[in-house]
Amino acid sequence: MRTTELTWFKSSYSGTQGDNCVEVAMTAQAVRVRDSKDVTRPDVAVGREGWSRFVEFAAEI
């Protein structure tokens, strides 16, 4: 699946200033993460289980 075919969602913690933002898109196999300030850069694919663990960890800090 090409990046342009994905539905991207901006982080709920992103401000209106447009700085320090990430976007995520879900696929059946992975969660794709990209920098919302420069969407031409390659995104990172993370396994769904690994993403779940990351979100749980981030919620604790």
What is the chain's pLDDT, residue by residue, as a tens digit (61 residues)?
566 689 999 877 766 666 668 899 999 999 999 988 888 999 999 999 999 999 999 899 8
pLDDT at 37: 85
The residues that bridge with 45 in the sheet, in sequence order, are: 32
Query: Helices in the chain by DSSP H: which ranges?
Result: 48-60
pLDDT given for residue 2 in this prediction:
61
Q: What pLDDT is attached to residue 10?
A: 85
21 Ramachandran zone, left/alpha/beta (phi>0; psi -120 to 50): beta
- The model's pTM: 0.74
Between CA 25 and CA 27 the distance in angstroms is 7
Phi-psi region of 11 (alpha: psi -120 to 50; beta: other; left: phi over 0): beta
| Residue 53 confidence (pLDDT) | 95
